[in-house]
Structure 1
Amino acid sequence: MIAYRLRAGIAAALALLQPLGAAALEARAPRHAPAVRPAVWQVRGPHATLWLFGTIHALPPHFEWQTPALRQIIARADRLVLEAVIDRDDPRSAQALMRLGTAAHPLPPITERVPVRLRPRLVTMAGKAGVPVALLDRLKTWAAAMVLFGVTVNGLGVSGDNGVEEQLKASFRAAGKPVEGLETLDQQLGFFDTLDEGEQRDFLVSVVDGKDDDAADFGRMLGAWSHGDERAIRASFDKDMKADGALRKVLIARRNARWAQLIAARLKQSGTGLLAVGAGHLVGPDSVQAMLLRLGYRARRVQ
């Protein structure tokens, strides 16, 4: 049972690896939004076309986001490229977390890694996860934070099962088209492992320290995404990232630079593809498009 809980929690956390922050997701989000038109860009190479689609990794049930233009792009693309291909029922997510996230040397008990005021809440969250506090004590701080973040997501009424990536994977696989990842599971977990202990504890505190304005935050974020409002998307993501520059550098800037190199290599080949990554990666001065421009490729907004 504990292994299942870990697997579910880590799958939820990895599905939300983009830095939404725990305060960005809440069950009381609007179920529908008028004139939904999430942002899409197109970038071309000599013989290749790639569409860049900024996604949201978890949605309320029955939220309609596929416009006619997006459906045409999905039909035209010969492959789907995601941040990583992680199937939510795959036990390897929990196995990878335990392999990379177990501390080699004893750390203070997990409750001592957060301020005193947050310790009761942390214990409550562990109980909801069905994960003993003693197990969290053995984990590196970032790994414990990911387990608890899964609790937050699972209690919000939104789900990665309803998220854009899961729907796209199902569509492409049904059509017999390949689904690829820019990163592996170990790479994604490894980003957190590069944080020093102080940065990891900041991450843990951000997960445990719930806020009272979750519903409003999610509503703003969902509205910005669904209407393709780049400025509002950036403001929504910056709210969490500005508080932790180290996390932003690890999760956004470095990854975007690496992805741009991979995209540039694909554009030198032939074919068409849909690259779907968290919307926070496609806005701002360190966006994937900005990195691509440095490599000589200009992305054009098409929706």
Structure 2
Amino acid sequence: MSFRLESLAALLLLAVSPPALAQTPAPEAGADPALWVVKDGDTTIYLFGSVHVLKPGTVWFDDEIKTAFDKSDELVLEMVEPDQATMMQKVASLGVDPDGPPLSEKLEEKPRAAYIAAMTANGIPWQALEKFQPWMAGITLSVAPLGRLGYAADQGVEKILTTAAKQAGKTIEGLETPEQQLGYFATLPEPQQVAFLNATVAELPEAESTFARMIASWSEGKVDALAAEMNASLEATPELAQVLLYNRNANWAKWIKARLDKPGTVFMAVGAGHLAGAKDVQDQLEVLGIETHRVPKANLVAH
């Protein structure tokens, strides 16, 4: 499963992600993910690449990241999550295709067989999704292995940051609404939805090793390695990448530029795939004449 799919599947984790399997608590594993900063005379915006699911025991909210967060007045996320019931209602309203043919009939013979086999292998009755659009099945499959592999949504970066922000009384803002994020998928032409589903199915056999490599690259702050993995996954669905990554990166860069006009300190966390690779948020900021700088550990902690 690609990091791109994991990142953008986060909005549905409340609705469809299985819980992580019960297991003996893992020993703490230190992580040192990348952090960037954008500044002008009276505004500081920290840019942090998030991972939406992590294994228990992953320690990342410390050192320069915690220091930057503590200095900030406001937390900005891709989306402020609604409660589970509200999210499921939104998913149902946008993910169902009541008038179309059954989902499996939208797939050609070989992809259909692979899809049904993948659903069965992950313990999901494929018949239950026959009235849904292909993108919904793709999302469901993209998150299906995570619980079995020990990853948990309640350990994800957004969950931890949101809890900490509420405890500290910080303002929390979303760059997009749930309707917007779901709409990116729901409004895709059906051939692109089918391509997304087929790509997800094709990537599932390598999900464990691919995801482990990407988490390792994130944990070690190896942005180039993360970008290389992500870019490889984009080759199968370039039209989808334009809608789900590049256009949003450009929009968020414009948001950052506008936010620099308002004094204050902001901690902004978006999927790590948006801060790695060609046309990432940093590249889009450069187009707008705004410099970003990687934050070394010593710099922030020393102040």
TM tier relative to shorter chain: 0.7 to 0.9
When residues 206 and 285 of structure 1 are mapped into structure 2, their CA distance, relative to the original with a 3 A threshold, is closer
Distance in 1 (CA, whole Å) between partners of 2:86 and 2:7 is 10
Cα pair 2:7 2:271 within 8 Å, conserved: no
SS at match of 1:276: strand
Does residue 45 (structure 1) correspond to residue 40 (structure 2)? The answer is yes
State the aligned residue count. 280
Does residue 54 (structure 1) correspond to residue 49 (structure 2)? The answer is yes
Cα pair 1:224 1:232 within 8 Å, conserved: yes
SS at match of 1:99: helix
When residues 106 and 31 of structure 1 are mapped into structure 2, their CA distance, relative to the original with a 3 A threshold, is farther
1:268 is matched by which residue type in structure 2? Answer: D
Distance in 1 (CA, whole Å) between partners of 2:137 and 2:96 is 9
Distance in 1 (CA, whole Å) between partners of 2:96 and 2:253 is 32
1:229 is matched by which residue type in structure 2? Answer: K
Counterpart residue number, 2:176: 183
SS at match of 1:284: coil
Counterpart residue number, 1:5: none
Cα pair 2:149 2:208 within 8 Å, conserved: no
Deviation at 1:175, TM superposition (A): 0.6
When residues 236 and 123 of structure 1 are mapped into structure 2, their CA distance, relative to the original with a 3 A threshold, is closer
Gap runs ≥5 in structure 2: 1-5, 14-21, 297-303
Counterpart residue number, 1:120: 116
Deviation at 1:108, TM superposition (A): 3.8
Matches within 5 A, 1:1-303: 13-15=9-11, 36-87=31-82, 89-103=83-97, 105-110=99-104, 112-113=106-107, 115-124=111-120, 128-129=123-124, 133=127, 135-209=128-202, 211-303=204-296
1:246 is matched by which residue type in structure 2? Answer: E
Distance in 2 (CA, whole Å) between partners of 1:77 and 1:143 is 36
Deviation at 1:111, TM superposition (A): 5.6
SS at match of 1:91: helix
Q: Deviations over 1:146-200 (max 9, x none)?
A: 2333433333310111011110111111111111110000000111123221111
Distance in 1 (CA, whole Å) between partners of 2:148 and 2:240 is 24
Counterpart residue number, 2:18: none
Cα pair 1:109 1:137 within 8 Å, conserved: yes
Distance in 2 (CA, whole Å) between partners of 1:12 and 1:230 is 18
SS at match of 1:106: coil
Deviation at 1:267, TM superposition (A): 0.8
Gap runs ≥5 in structure 1: 1-9, 18-26
2:233 is matched by which residue type in structure 1? Answer: D
Distance in 1 (CA, whole Å) between partners of 2:8 and 2:152 is 8
Distance in 2 (CA, whole Å) between partners of 1:272 and 1:84 is 19
Cα pair 1:42 1:301 within 8 Å, conserved: yes
